[in-house]
Amino acid sequence: AAAMVLGHALFKAPLFLVTGIVDHATGTRDLRKLSGVGRSLPYVAAVAVLAAASMAALPPLLGFAAKEAAFE
């Protein structure tokens, strides 16, 4: 359970921070106005992709290990 809580915290927190960074940088959360934000904020986009991959439990990431530990 502790591994799952830690894994959840470590992939969910960056996703919330990315939302705040994008909102602050662009001034909006309207998806119609956010086209190209990944090209203008490449490091933020990379963090979002890694956090989302961990949430999807892709094998080399902590989300995978935490979910496997929860299944066992």
Residue 2: predicted pLDDT? 83
Among candidate residues 48, 64, 68, the one with its CA nearest the CA of residue 56: 64
Q: What is the pTM of this model?
A: 0.80
Q: Write down the pLDDT at residue 15.
A: 94
What is the full per-residue pLDDT of the chain (72 aa) written as tens digits? 788 888 889 889 999 999 999 999 999 888 888 998 999 999 999 999 999 998 898 888 888 888 888 888
- pLDDT attached to residue 13: 94
What are the C-alpha distances in Å from 46 to residues 15, 19, 26, 58?
11, 13, 17, 15
Q: What is the pLDDT of residue 19?
A: 93
